[in-house]
Amino acid sequence: MKHFKKYTKPAAIVAALTAALLLSAAGCASDADKASENLSTAADNFEVQRKIVGINGITDKPAFQVEGRCSISDEGRRLVVTCKHGENDYRKHYIGLSDNTFYVSEQLEGIDVSVYHTRIVIKPESILPDLDLQGGKQ
From its phi and psi, is residue 60 left (phi > 0), alpha (psi between -120 and 50) or beta? Answer: left
The one-letter amino acid code at 128 reads L
Q: Which residues contact residue 66 at a Cβ distance below 8 angstroms, ignoring those fewer than 6 apart?
A: 50, 51, 52, 81, 83, 93, 95
Q: How far is it, in rounded angstroms, from Cα 82 to Cα 72?
A: 6
Q: What does the pLDDT look like over 40-98, one tens digit per residue?
A: 888 888 999 999 999 998 999 999 999 999 999 988 889 999 999 999 999 999 999 88
Q: What does the pLDDT look like over 7-34, one tens digit per residue?
A: 556 665 656 656 655 555 555 668 888 8
pTM of the predicted model, to two decimals?
A: 0.62
pLDDT at position 52 is 93
pLDDT tops 60 at residue 3: no
pLDDT at position 49 is 93
Closest by CA position to 111, among listed 35, 32, 30, 33: 35
- SS3 for 126? helix
Q: How far is it, in rounded angstroms, from Cα 58 to Cα 23?
A: 48
Contact at 8 Å (CB) between 97 and 64? no
Q: What does the pLDDT look like over 100-122, one tens digit per residue?
A: 988 999 888 888 877 777 777 77
